[in-house]
Amino acid sequence: MDIFNFVKQPWPWYVAGPLIGLTVPVLLLIGNKSFGISASLRHICAACVPAKIPFFQYNWKSESWNLLFVGGILLGGIVAGAWLSNPAAMTIHPALAKELAGYGITNYQSLVPAELFNWQALFTVRGLLMMAGGGFLVGFGTRYAGGCTSGHAIMGLSTLQWPSLVATICFMIGGLVMANVFLPWILAL
C-alpha cells in the first residue's frame, strides 16, 4: 500500500485525537492564541451586523486570526474532500444503521448524510428543523456557554478550568437527550 492510499483511510482516534490536541500548543506558541472556534461566529456578527448591540461593540479586527483559522478549516475541508477522501462508504454501528433505515436513511457514502442534509430537504419540516433549527441552537448555545467543544472541552480542560468541565458535561447531557429522546421523533417527520 502506498503512502497516499494509507492516508486516504479514515484515521483512528489515537492518531487524530493527539493531533487535534497539538492545536493547543501550536496556537499558543505561534501567536499566544487560545484555541477556540465558536468566537468566530461572534466576530462575524460584530463585523457584519453589530446593530449597536453592546455584545458586538469591540474591536473584532484584533481577533481576525480567529476568522483566518476558521477560513483555514474550510480550506482543509476542501483539500481533504477533494484529494484525501475515502472512496468507500463509512462503516457505522449495525444498531444505528438499523434505526436509520427505519427513517429511510441508507446512504453512508458521505460524512454528512446526503438524504438528510440537501437543498431540497430545506423545504421540508424535518430538513428545516435539522439545518436551520439545529444551527440556531449551536450558535445560541455555544455563545451562551462561552465556548464550544474546542474552547471549553479541549482548551478549557487542558488548562484545568472547572467551569469548562461543567460546560462539557452539559454539552454531553444535551446531546444524549437529543439523540435518544427527541431526534428519533424529528427523524420520523
Partner 1 sequence: MYKSLSQLKYLLAGLVFGVIFVKAEVISWFRIQEMFRLQSFHMYGVIGSAVLVGMLSVWMIKQFNIKTIQGETVTFQSRKFNRGQIYGGLIFGLGWAITGACPGPLFAQIGTGATVIVITLLSAIAGTWVYGKFREKLPH
Within positions 47 to 76, which residues make up the interface with partner 1, using CB under 8 A? Answer: 49, 51, 53, 55-56, 64-66, 68-76
Which of 4, 6, 123, 144 is in the footprint of partner 1 by CB under 8 A?
144
Which of 88, 166, 188, 189 is in the footprint of partner 1 by CB under 8 A?
166
**2-21 positions binding partner 1, by CB under 8 A:** 7, 10-21
Which of 1, 4, 28, 104 is in the footprint of partner 1 by CB under 8 A?
28
Q: Give per-residue burial for 59-92: e unless 16+ CB within 10 Å, then b.
A: ebeebeebbebbeeeeeeeeeeeeeeeeeeeeee
Rounded to a whole number of angstroms, the minimum distance from the CB of residue 2 to partner 1 is: 17
**DSSP class of residue 90?**
P
Judged by CB under 8 A, does residue 117 bind partner 1? yes
Judged by CB under 8 A, does residue 104 bind partner 1? no
Contact criterion met (CB below 8 Å) for 147 and 167? yes
Judged by CB under 8 A, does residue 159 bind partner 1? yes
Judged by CB under 8 A, does residue 172 bind partner 1? yes
Q: Which residue has the cell 431526534?
A: 183
Number of residues that bind partner 1 (CB under 8 A): 126
Torsion sign (Cα): 24, 27, 30, 33: negative
Give the C-alpha separation, 21 to 15, whole Å.
10
Judged by CB under 8 A, does residue 1 bind partner 1? no
Give the C-alpha separation, 92 to 95, whole Å.
9
